[in-house]
Copies of this chain bind each other. A is one copy, B any other.
Amino acid sequence: MMLQKIFKTSTLALISTAALCSTLVTTSYAAEGQSERHKFEVTTVAEGLSFPWGIAFLPNGEALITEKSGSLRRVGLNGVISEPITGVPDVVYKSQGGLLDVALDPDFADNSWVYLSYSEADPEGGEGNSTAVARGKLFGNNLQDVEVIFRGAPKYKSNAHFGSRLAFSADGYLFITLGDRYSAMDDAQTLDNHHGKIVRIWPDGAIPEDNPFVNTEGALPEIWSYGHRNVQGAAMNPMTDELWTIEHGPKGGDEVNIPVAGGNYGWPVATYGVDYDGSIISEKTHVEGTLQPFYYWVPSIATSNAIFYTGSEFPAWQGDLLVSALKASKVARLDLQDGRMMHEEALFGDVVEQRIRDIEQGPDGAIYLITDDRNGKLLRITNADD
């Protein structure tokens, strides 16, 4: 990738939005890069976010951004970062745990529901925790009528592998992607727990009657698919309304899957990776009764989230899956054709050089990234073609 870096001093008007304003970015940084099909510009929209994890765009164009420490903030595209929104549930902020993803209800404009995934302590005071999902109605800078709609079981003492992304299907189901809690990896193969599962519920927490294991004795009825490791990414394919998930693998073996109802994706009995200390988890990549990934990376790129890009800003990328990554500081563009994987391109890495925790498409068709850092940034990628 050829690249040019340019530096700009912006002349952002000093518009303070009253009480919401706690940080104001007065300079912005932009860098240009060249990809296979488009030139692009990376602009720092905002910085000073503490380990941001999830982004969702509000109808007014602001971004809702979670910080792992437990804050949910509004971030304007002018760089203004609000005070924390009140009413957010308490989270267990430790290692990989904290306030994680954020999503808007598909009918947000009518019902104001905002969904949050997070690490929740044991309400009975035990040492364990688990991924939970709550929703609340966003009015101004306050979440109201907050209710927990999903609570992972069991509560388990671990600070790792919580999942967790939220994705709504066009027919109104809410998918929640979960993790195996690391030391509980074997649980991913049994149906009596939520470790290493993807679950499907209604937005109010009710169990869909057509979930694959609702009639299986001993199985938790929320389960959609199993045999996963740490599914930190999810995107609905707008062409097919299928759920596509991004699984953060062991050393080697990050995966893209298209989880089908009741599917077993093999972890930890079948994997392309080894443990981070180099020890073997399984010699097998194929085990009967388990499903192969759609695509996998060896070595790992440390996947985080993904989107199907549909905007007009980058016409050559329409329909492609853009997968953000932590380790390799890049976005992997999977050029898809009729559901087939035709080519992979590494985007932005030479320019961004930071761990990318989330990727979203903005209402303007630009691509937005947040960086996993104590001085976390919101970056905007726009077209810079001649």
Listed in ascending order, the chain A residues whose CB lies under 8 Å from chain B are 36-37, 252, 272, 285, 292-298, 316, 337-338, 340-345
Contacts and interface: CB of A to CB of B under 8 A. Distances in A.
Contacts of A340: 294, 340-341
B298 A345 contact: yes
Nearest to A341: B341
12 contacts: A36-B298, A37-B285, A272-B343, A292-B337, A292-B342, A294-B340, A295-B342, A295-B343, A296-B343, A298-B343, A298-B345, A340-B341
Nearest to A345: B298
A29 to B, nearest CB: 29
Given A252-B36, A316-B285, A296 B342 contact: yes
Q: Which of A37, A297, A341, A343 lies at the interface centre, i.e. has the most chain B CB atoms within 10 A of its CB?
A: A343
Contacts of A297: 343
A294 B345 contact: no
A247 to B, nearest CB: 14
Nearest to A273: B36
Residue of A252, A296, A337 ringed by the most chain B CB atoms within 10 A = A337
A294 B343 contact: no
Contacts of A252: 36
Contacts of A316: 285
Nearest to A256: B342
A337 B292 CA distance: 8
A272 B292 CA distance: 29
A316 B285 CA distance: 9
A272 B337 CA distance: 14
B342 A294 contact: yes
A298 B272 CA distance: 25
